[in-house]
Amino acid sequence: MTQYQMDNSTVRPERIVLLAVDLTDFAGNRVVRQNDFQAAVAEAKELICATGGELVETVTCQKDKPSPALYIGSGKAEEIADIIVQTEADLLVVNHPLTPTQERNLEKVCQCRVIDRVGLILDIFAQRARTQEGKLQVELAQLTHLSSRLVRGYAHLQSQKGGIGMKGPGETQLETDRRLIGNKITRLKRELQQVKKQRQTQRKSRNRNGTPTFALVGYTNAGKSSVFNRLTKADVLAKDQLFATLDTTARRLYLGPNANVVLTDTVGFVRDLPHELVEAFAATLEETAEADVLLHVVDRSHAEWSRQIDDVNEVLNQISAENIPCLLVLNKIDLLPAEAALPAGAVLNAQGGVVAMHISVHNGEGLADLRQWMAEQAQSL
């Protein structure tokens, strides 16, 4: 079992306390808007739910900047320690990236395991990976994250000042573990490089056949896999949960005469996607970066749909896919309230060009228009 995988043999799910900090600057102004902070807390709760853990308490606080030692103040840390005792919690999840020192110090004060947002997302990926490639990518991300935190397992060595029999072995063990992890990271990167070469070979074959590739991208749980299944009549796992899909799936799609395409379903993005995951999933994300057209699926019924578009665009920039032709596919319009209802089908600009598509994958509205647009694009490529 890896550091971030839960022990499923326990009778009850892990009891989790969530900590979210609303950062302000020295003038007292919010670093993020209040609605953004509330959305971040709501998303963290969904992430915890996705792990199978039981959220027993949510603690929020304001701070001008993170403390180097604990991220939060010592008084707030003691308060959380009391909450952990009262709720019999097993784990503290901090919805922010922590340094190894902050993580270790919080564990000392709270007397329980502590993971940050990166560790939480890595745990979900570890649970959801199904293919060999997906497992390799997740393991690489976990080991990369763990390599900077090895010292946490040897906290008792910090008090050693020397003396007979007290110098050397602990340091040797730590160095050995670092070397073993480093060797494994090198091996995983080599194996994933082979996967990358296989994908490049497959893409070259498609290019020789003149088959354009359309890639579905978007925020996690926007409905990408459901759109994929509707268009291709496939049976890719599609659930109402974060990161239901981790493994890229590709299918040929017939859209009409001279309009055969390959449609790929890709991993969903999330705000502040951990750098370790972007690096580890390079082979998978390359499918997006090498696509001819992107279909950016958006959950239009989500309160933060506009911000989610920005978050996805940020990741697309990271993988150098920002210049690929892209169509916004605004999904789940059936879930909008009556006063905010949107007509299904194409959204046109002043010149009559299609800039977005309103659809409901649930009832099929707008999908015929989407297929027609894709066929026209395929014929023009």
Write the pLDDT tens digit of every residue in 91-100: 999 999 899 8
Low-confidence ranges of the chain (pLDDT < 70): 1-11, 25-35, 150-174, 199-200, 202-209, 235-247, 275-276, 280-284
**Average pLDDT over all residues of the chain:** 82
In terms of phi and psi (left: phi > 0; alpha: psi -120 to 50; beta: otherwise), the region of 96 is beta
Q: Which DSSP helix (H) or strand (E) runs through 367? A: helix 367-380
Domain residue ranges in the chain: 15-127, 209-380
Q: How far apart are the first and last CA of the chain?
A: 47
The torsion angles phi and psi of 246, rounded to 5 degrees, stand at: -115, -30
Asked if the domains 15-127 and 209-380 are classified in one and the same CATH topology, the answer is yes
Task: Please state the pTM of the whole predicted model.
Answer: 0.75
What's the rounded Cα separation, in Å, for the pair 53 and 104?
A: 22
pLDDT digits 0-9 by tens, 99-151: 989 999 999 999 999 999 988 888 888 887 777 777 888 888 888 888 777 65
Among 109, 114, 126, CA closest to 52: 126
pLDDT at 194: 84
Span 283-293, pLDDT tens digits: 667 778 889 99
Looking at residue 263, its amino acid is: L
Q: CATH classification of 209-380, choosing from 1.10.10.60, 3.20.20.450, 3.40.50.720, 3.40.50.300?
A: 3.40.50.300
Q: Residue-wise over 99-129: b if at least 16 C-beta within 10 A, else e?
A: eeebbbbbbebbebbbbbbbbbbbbbbbbbb
The pLDDT value recorded for residue 247 is 63
Q: Give the torsion sign (CA, 234, 335, 58, 307).
A: positive
pLDDT at 261: 92
- Kind of pairing, strands 213-218 and 260-265? parallel
15-127 belongs to which CATH class? alpha beta
The confidence score (pLDDT) of residue 368 equals: 95
